Amino acid sequence: MPKVIMNVKLLEMSQNAIALIYVACRQCYSKEFAGDVFSDTSISLEKQEEFVKNIVASGHQSPLEHVKFTFAIEGVSRALTHQLVRHRLASYCQQSQRYVKEKDFDYIIPPVIERNIAAKDEFSKLMATIQQSYTKLLTLMGQDNLCGEIANQDARFVLPQAAETKIVATMNCRELLHFFQHRCCARAQWEICQLANKMLEICAEKLPAVFADAGAKCEALGYCPEGEKFCCGKYPLKA
Ligand SMILES: Cc1cc2nc3c(=O)[nH]c(=O)nc-3n(C[C@H](O)[C@H](O)[C@H](O)COP(=O)(O)OP(=O)(O)OC[C@H]3O[C@@H](n4cnc5c(N)ncnc54)[C@H](O)[C@@H]3O)c2cc1C
């Protein structure tokens, strides 16, 4: 099986993101109507960006909820997406194991296992055995004249968390900042940490006024809140 590579593609982000955050915030403090401020071209983009940076720095985060990013993600494990979808202030659509047959399924090999020849061999053998059992179950249930979807939905019970999957995820900027705080942390599981860092790279490029300083909690705090057991050493523990 060829190596599965994580792929993260930005499908879309809110248009006029800076102006949206700017007017949403201005509406809180101004007698003016946001509908008029939005089309007021006398306020330069640079000025709006400065304003947005200050909003982010002040922790006034609700204006950030008006701007969203949608990502297509592939080449990740079901173990990853199970963690991802725990983030509730987001929308997801994931490839179904009922409607999509997992014949010749791809799988993710954790790097530590990949680097250990004996462990990789054990892992790969198990994946091959699972593939065989899955296919056999489909055949057996097919013989009972059950329709494909029912066979798929029951045969998938033997599939591993390592199975490759694809998902579309939409989060607003506030949720993204929260997601990055938790999942860019070195304490987070390696695969979701990799995903979070790829998403952060995209967000920081597209919307630096919001994401230039985003990342794990410690980046903003200047210390590690995780405690001695989990601290990666990048920042000191809280005094
Ligand atoms: C390192 C690490 C280890 C973890 N280990 C485990 C584990 O062992 N077992 C496990 O079950 N989970 C584990 N998790 C998952 C974790 O508990 C959260 O479920 C997950 O990170 C989603 O976070 P969240 O609830 O803050 O975020 P979101 O769902 O993204 O919500 C964002 C924020 O909105 C607010 N919010 C959302 N929903 C509600 C609500 N219903 N009521 C009140 N406020 C709400 C909260 O302020 C929340 O922080 C782990 C996460 C990390 C990062």
Cβ atoms of 101 and 115 within 8 Å: the answer is no
Are 28 and 126 in the same domain? no
Q: In this predicted structure, which of 89-93, 97-101, 166-170, 215-219 has the lowest mean pLDDT?
A: 97-101
pLDDT, residue 148, reads 60
Chain segment 59-80, per-residue pLDDT in tens: 899 999 999 999 999 999 999 9
Residue 34, SS3?
Answer: helix
Q: Is pLDDT of 3 > 90? A: no
DSSP annotation of 4: P
Cβ atoms of 35 and 98 within 8 Å: the answer is no
pLDDT, residue 130, reads 97
Are 38 and 57 in the same domain? yes
Within 6 A (CB) of ligand 1 lie 86-89, 175, 178, 182, 187-188
Nearest CA to ligand 1 atom 53: 182
Are 74 and 130 in the same domain? no
Does residue 239 form part of some domain? no
232-239: long-range pairs with CB below 8 Å, 24+? 232/185, 232/186, 232/187, 234/186
Q: Give me the amino acid identity at 36.
A: D
Q: Is pLDDT of 145 > 60? A: no
Residue range of the domain that includes 147: 106-158
Are 84 and 194 in the same domain? yes
Are 190 and 88 in the same domain? yes
Chain segment 15-58, per-residue pLDDT in tens: 999 999 999 999 988 899 999 988 887 889 999 999 999 999 99
Are 191 and 80 in the same domain? yes
Quote the number of domains for the chain. 2
C-alpha of residue 15 to centroid of ligand 1, in Å:
29
Cβ atoms of 225 and 217 within 8 Å: the answer is yes
pLDDT, residue 144, reads 57
Are 67 and 180 in the same domain? yes
Q: Is pLDDT of 143 > 60? A: no
Are 88 and 177 in the same domain? yes
Chain segment 184-237, per-residue pLDDT in tens: 999 999 999 999 999 999 999 999 999 999 999 999 899 999 888 889 999 999
Does residue 78 form part of some domain? yes
H/E segment holding residue 25: helix 17-29
Does residue 220 form part of some domain? no
Of 180, 181, 182, 189, the residue with max ligand 1 atoms within 8 A of its CB, to mutate for a pocket test, comes to 182
Strand 68-77: give its sheet, edge to edge.
7-13, 68-77, 164-172, 90-94
Does residue 98 form part of some domain? no
C-alpha of residue 87 to centroid of ligand 1, in Å:
6
Does residue 2 form part of some domain? no
pLDDT, residue 2, reads 74
Mean pLDDT within 138-152:
72
Does residue 51 form part of some domain? yes
Are 20 and 127 in the same domain? no
Are 50 and 76 in the same domain? yes
